[in-house]
């Protein structure tokens, strides 16, 4: 059971928009920055969003992040078939003194 809660799967058609939610508590999302990772099959995770809503160099602005209270959301617009992957949210939990991840969301671009 992951500390952060994500939906197991989401799907949408090419060109559409999708959002992935990540729910936590005051000790993690509520008091620390949230990051998002994309993991394509058979590869290592890749940082997509950091500090709740910032994109590393090279990440297209189709990807966006937001945070409100103890929840965070990853948004992807203009879906492409290559966006099909597993997406994970992560943060630090100040009570556990530990990093925590969501269980991951599998995005299918139909």
Partner 1 sequence: QLLESGGGLVQPGGSLRLSCAASGFTLSGYAMSWVRQAPGKGLEWLSHITGSGGSTYYADSVKGRFTIFRDNSKNTVYLQMNSLRVEDTAVYYCAKVFSLGTFDYWGQGTLVTVSS
Of 66 and 77, which CB lies nearer to partner 1 in the complex structure?
Answer: 66
Binding range to partner 1, per CB under 8 A, among 10-18, 63-71, 75-83, 98-106: 98-106
31 forms part of the interface with partner 1 (CB under 8 A)? no
Q: Which helix (H) or strand (E) holds 21?
A: strand 18-23
Q: Which helix (H) or strand (E) holds 47?
A: strand 46-49
51 in contact with partner 1 (CB under 8 A): yes
Cβ-in-10-Å burial (0-12, 13-18, 19+) of 74 comes to buried
Q: Does residue 47 touch partner 1 according to CB under 8 A?
A: yes
């Amino acid at each position: 059971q992951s500390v952060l809660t994500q939906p197991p799967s989401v799907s949408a058609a090419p060109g559409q928009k999708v959002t992935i939610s990540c729910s936590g508590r005051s000790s993690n999302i509520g008091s620390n920055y949230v990051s998002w990772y994309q993991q394509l099959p058979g590869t290592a995770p890749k940082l997509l969003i950091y500090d709740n809503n910032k994109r590393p160099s090279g990440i297209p602005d189709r990807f966006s992040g937001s945070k409100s209270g103890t929840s965070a959301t990853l948004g992807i617009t203009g879906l492409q078939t290559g966006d099909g992957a597993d997406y994970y949210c992560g943060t630090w939990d100040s009570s556990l003194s530990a990093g925590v991840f969501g269980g991951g969301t599998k995005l299918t671009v139909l």
